[in-house]
């Protein structure tokens, strides 16, 4: 299990949905994903933010499984969200996907991603 660090000398994690820092024991296997966007395996992209972010998390879970890992092994999440109005849906999907896992996390609202119809991109780092 990774050790969480949330000292009193650092602001408490907003919403307590993540850790300010995680420490990984030596001799762990690492998995770094590319940024995942809301594109289904058949190449289609849903129109809604909610459907895209659900697809992103499904892709991340598939990559973790392929690497013999699970959500509890995620140590870092970077999320890029097009439009501040989509941040609540991003947070809800993240909470649903991560359950009780509390990786270190960064979320950034951006004006656009590489293609104009992509609304969210998430990358994770996991260690086991």
* Cβ 104 vs Cβ 24: under 8 Å: no
Q: Please compute the mean of the pLDDT values over residues 101-109 and round it to a whole number.
A: 95
- Topology annotation, domain 29-127: 60s Ribosomal Protein L30; Chain: A; (3.30.1330)
Q: Cβ neighbours of residue 42 under 8 Å, at least 6 residues apart?
A: none
Q: How confident is the model at residue 19 (pLDDT cuts 50, 70, 90)?
A: confident
Q: Please compute the mean of the pLDDT values over residues 24-28 and round it to a whole number.
A: 90
């Amino acid at each position: 299990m990774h050790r969480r660090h949330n000292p009193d000398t650092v602001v408490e994690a907003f919403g307590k949905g993540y850790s300010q820092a995680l420490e990984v024991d030596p001799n762990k296997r690492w998995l770094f994903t590319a940024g995942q966007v809301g594109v289904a395996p058949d190449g289609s992209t849903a129109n809604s933010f909610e459907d895209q972010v659900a697809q992103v998390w499904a892709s991340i879970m598939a990559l973790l499984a392929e690497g013999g890992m699970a959500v509890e092994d995620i140590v870092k999440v970077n999320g890029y969200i097009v439009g501040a109005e989509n941040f609540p849906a991003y947070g809800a999907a993240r909470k649903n996907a991560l359950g009780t896992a509390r990786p270190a996390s960064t979320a950034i609202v951006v004006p656009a991603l590489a293609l104009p119809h992509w609304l969210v991109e998430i990358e994770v780092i996991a260690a086991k």
